[in-house]
């Protein structure tokens, strides 16, 4: 039978709309998505006829399968594009997977604010218009010791707002060794340019001295900027000027000192076995006037740029027109306030904030989880083609934080005698709740530092479903 005759067997859109499975689908999702899916599947079938050598029997099987293909296609179109995934990668603050997690109490606080009216910009004491920044200012003052505080939508916005307010059309002095690039190819010099400040870089990539800063100070100097290189480290023949040393120049020349901590932290993590990371409190104690940092990295909250420091400077920032463009919404405020409350009790913060909890998990707990997951996978009875073992490995902090830190961890590892490792990984990634793993030496690693026990059923369902699909059973 020639191709032209085969085309005649392909059903019309209206015919498929009369199929019972498609009628069932129309009760669930918009008609437009169903029709779009039908047309896509019919076009795919026409292309098969054009480019493949197929017979009538094959075509009949393809036509018989059309309702089910349309059903799956339409459901996929109707599903939300931003969805939950299981993070088995071992990267705790995974930028591509949404960075820090929020616990149930924080989510409940967001829900309470989101589903009801709130006093977002209403002063309940005075019965008049208030400021959204007041909800976070007190608790940030309490935790950091800063005179004042405000929050914008991310740390890049915080840096732009600070420099636009303190040094627009003026010079800002920064070490060449601190001209960092953050995620998405955004660079400190570019951020500074957008603020209207003029970059003056001093020193060299590996060595900057106090006299380099002082020699660059002139009538046009608007601020001294210290940038914490949280996402990389220069080793070897190096020298940097700490904020405590720069404090002497700030006082001598009456120039504000600004420090961008990037992935700001409010707890000294070295007491929990991690490398020391400068805290916001330390920066302020060292004489820094304004400190900026992220809310969704080591702090463990929602995406936000937090600014703390001298009240006179922050009051000026609140009047800057850019503040309107960078302001946070009620969801961020609700999430961040609930997160910050934990920091009033350090032990509670470590226990309740998911990011800090994962960073400080004991190897005993991780090992027990790895053994439990391994045993549960074995209970699926997948046969001899799937090998399940436990291996020691290292997890990463991620999010441009603590770049040299390697956290010991345990992984449940899948290897295969006949099945394709790449195909199995792809199957897990395309599961109804995607499971993100890491591939190494033709094996799939599921890192138990970033997987929670309540996610085990999802992983088990994903493994079983993927195996059945690949085996055709």
**What pLDDT sits at residue 350?**
96
Instruction: With a cut of 80, say whether residue 429 has pLDDT above it.
Output: yes
Percent of the chain with pLDDT over 90: 70
**What pLDDT sits at residue 310?**
97
**What pLDDT sits at residue 72?**
87
**What pLDDT sits at residue 183?**
61
For 400, list phi and psi in degrees, rounded to 5: 70, 25
Which CATH architecture describes the domain 86-95+360-471?
A: Alpha-Beta Complex (3.90)
**What pLDDT sits at residue 76?**
87
For 12, 206, 244, 316, 341, the CA distances from 225, given in Å and listed in that order, are 67, 17, 13, 18, 30
H helices within 115-225, ranges in order? Answer: 134-144, 155-167, 188-195, 210-216
β-bridge mates for residue 288, sequence order: none
Confidence of residue 403 (pLDDT cuts 50, 70, 90): confident
Closest to 387 (Cα-Cα) out of 424, 360, 427: 424
β-bridge mates for residue 14, sequence order: none
Question: By the 8 A CB rule, do 299 and 266 touch?
Answer: yes
Residue spans in the chain of domains classed CATH 3.90.1150.180: 86-95+360-471
More confident residue, 354 or 238: 354
**Rounded CA separation 376/339 (Å):** 34
**What pLDDT sits at residue 3?**
65
Instruction: With a cut of 60, say whether residue 184 has pLDDT above it.
Output: no
- For residue range 17-30, what is the model confidence (pLDDT) as tens digits? 998 999 999 999 99
More confident residue, 451 or 275: 451
**What pLDDT sits at residue 233?**
65
Confidence of residue 452 (pLDDT cuts 50, 70, 90): very high
SS3 272: helix
Name the helix (H) or strand (E) containing 78: helix 56-78
Question: Which pair of structure tokens corresponds to residue 194?
Answer: 């957008």
**What pLDDT sits at residue 254?**
93
SS3 265: strand
Average pLDDT value for residue range 336-352: 96
Average pLDDT value for residue range 312-333: 96
Confidence of residue 10 (pLDDT cuts 50, 70, 90): confident
More confident residue, 447 or 188: 447
- For residue range 150-159, what is the model confidence (pLDDT) as tens digits? 999 999 999 9
pTM: 0.88
Instruction: With a cut of 60, say whether residue 1 has pLDDT above it.
Output: no
Instruction: With a cut of 60, say whether residue 89 has pLDDT above it.
Output: yes
Average pLDDT value for residue range 63-73: 89
Please state which of the ranges 23-37, 230-244, 343-357, 395-409 shows the lowest mean pLDDT: 230-244
CA 320 to chain centroid, in Å, comes to 28
**What pLDDT sits at residue 192?**
82
Percent of the chain with pLDDT over 70: 96
For β-strands 122-123 and 438-440, DSSP reports them as unpaired
**What pLDDT sits at residue 383?**
82
**What pLDDT sits at residue 6?**
79
Residue spans in the chain of domains classed CATH 3.40.640.10: 103-352
Instruction: With a cut of 70, say whether residue 204 has pLDDT above it.
Output: yes
How many helices, marked H, and strands, marked E, lie in the chain?
A: 20, 17
**What pLDDT sits at residue 303?**
95
Please state which of the ranges 190-194, 214-218, 367-371 shows the lowest mean pLDDT: 190-194
Between the CA atoms of 24, 29, 31 and 36, what dihedral angle is there, to the nearest 10 degrees? -100
**What pLDDT sits at residue 2?**
64
**What pLDDT sits at residue 157?**
93
Average pLDDT value for residue range 65-92: 91
In sequence order, what DSSP letters do the residues of 302-342 get, joined into one string?
A: SS-EEEEE-HHHHHHHHHSTHHHHHB--HHHHHHHHHHHHH
Under 8 Å CB-to-CB from 271, ≥6 apart: which residues?
none
Question: By the 8 A CB rule, do 369 and 448 touch?
Answer: yes
Confidence of residue 194 (pLDDT cuts 50, 70, 90): confident
**What pLDDT sits at residue 241?**
82
**Rounded CA separation 54/2 (Å):** 10
Question: By the 8 A CB rule, do 84 and 442 touch?
Answer: no
**Rounded CA separation 192/181 (Å):** 12
**What pLDDT sits at residue 87?**
97
Average pLDDT value for residue range 299-324: 96
**What pLDDT sits at residue 472?**
64
**What pLDDT sits at residue 63?**
87
Between the CA atoms of 272, 273, 279 and 281, what dihedral angle is there, to the nearest 10 degrees? 40
Please state which of the ranges 146-155, 381-390, 446-455 shows the lowest mean pLDDT: 381-390
**What pLDDT sits at residue 79?**
87
452 CB-contact burial (10 Å; exposed 0-12 / middle 13-18 / buried 19+): middle
Instruction: With a cut of 60, say whether residue 473 has pLDDT above it.
Output: no
Instruction: With a cut of 60, say whether residue 143 has pLDDT above it.
Output: yes
For 325, list phi and psi in degrees, rounded to 5: -70, -30
**Rounded CA separation 193/160 (Å):** 9
> Tokens 């390697």 label which residue?
406
SS3 84: coil
Task: Tell me the CATH number for domain 103-352.
Answer: 3.40.640.10
237 CB-contact burial (10 Å; exposed 0-12 / middle 13-18 / buried 19+): exposed
């Amino acid at each position: 039978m020639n191709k032209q005759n085969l085309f005649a067997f392909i059903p019309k859109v209206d015919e498929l709309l009369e199929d019972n499975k498609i009628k069932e689908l129309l009760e669930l999702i918009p008609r437009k998505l169903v029709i779009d899916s039908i047309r896509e599947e019919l076009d795919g079938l026409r292309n098969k006829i054009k480019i493949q050598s197929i017979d009538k029997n094959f075509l009949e099987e393809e036509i018989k399968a059309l309702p089910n293909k349309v059903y799956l296609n339409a459901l996929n179109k109707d599903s939300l594009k931003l969805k939950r995934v299981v993070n088995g990668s071992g990267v705790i603050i995974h930028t591509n997977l949404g960075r820090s997690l929020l616990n149930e109490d924080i989510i409940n606080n967001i829900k309470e604010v989101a589903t009801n009216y709130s006093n977002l910009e209403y002063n309940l004491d005075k019965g008049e218009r208030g400021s959204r920044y007041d909800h976070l200012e007190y608790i940030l003052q309490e935790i950091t010791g800063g005179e004042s505080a405000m929050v914008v939508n991310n740390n890049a916005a915080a840096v732009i707002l600070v420099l636009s307010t303190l040094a627009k059309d003026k010079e800002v002095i920064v070490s060449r060794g601190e001209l960092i690039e953050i995620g998405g190819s955004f660079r400190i010099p570019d951020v500074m340019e957008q603020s209207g400040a003029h970059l003056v870089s001093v020193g060299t990539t590996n060595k900057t001295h106090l006299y380099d800063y002082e020699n660059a100070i002139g009538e046009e100097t608007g601020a001294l900027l210290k940038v914490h290189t949280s996402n990389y480290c220069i080793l070897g023949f190096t020298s940097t000027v700490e904020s405590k040393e720069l404090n002497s120049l700030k006082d001598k020349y009456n120039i504000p000192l600004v420090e961008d901590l990037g992935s700001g932290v409010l707890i000294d993590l070295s007491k929990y076995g991690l490398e020391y990371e400068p805290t916001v409190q330390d920066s302020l104690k060292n004489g820094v006037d304004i400190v900026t940092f992220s809310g969704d990295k080591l702090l463990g909250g929602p995406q936000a740029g937090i600014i703390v420091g001298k009240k006179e400077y922050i009051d000026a920032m609140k009047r800057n027109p850019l503040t309107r463009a960078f302001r946070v919404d009620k969801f961020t405020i609700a999430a961040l306030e609930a997160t910050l409350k934990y920091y009033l009790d350090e032990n509670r913060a470590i226990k309740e904030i998911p990011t800090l909890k994962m960073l400080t998990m004991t190897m005993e707990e991780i090992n027990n989880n790895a053994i439990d997951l391994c045993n549960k996978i074995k209970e699926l009875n997948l046969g001899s083609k799937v090998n399940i073992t436990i291996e020691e490995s290292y997890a990463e902090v991620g999010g441009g934080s603590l770049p040299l830190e390697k956290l010991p961890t345990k992984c449940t590892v899948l290897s295969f005698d006949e099945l394709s490792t790449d195909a199995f990984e792809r199957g897990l990634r395309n599961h109804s709740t995607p499971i993100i793993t890491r591939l190494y030496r033709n094996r799939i690693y599921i890192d138990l530092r970033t997987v929670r026990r309540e996610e085990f059923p999802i992983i088990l369902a994903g493994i079983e479903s993927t195996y059945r699909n690949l085996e055709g059973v």
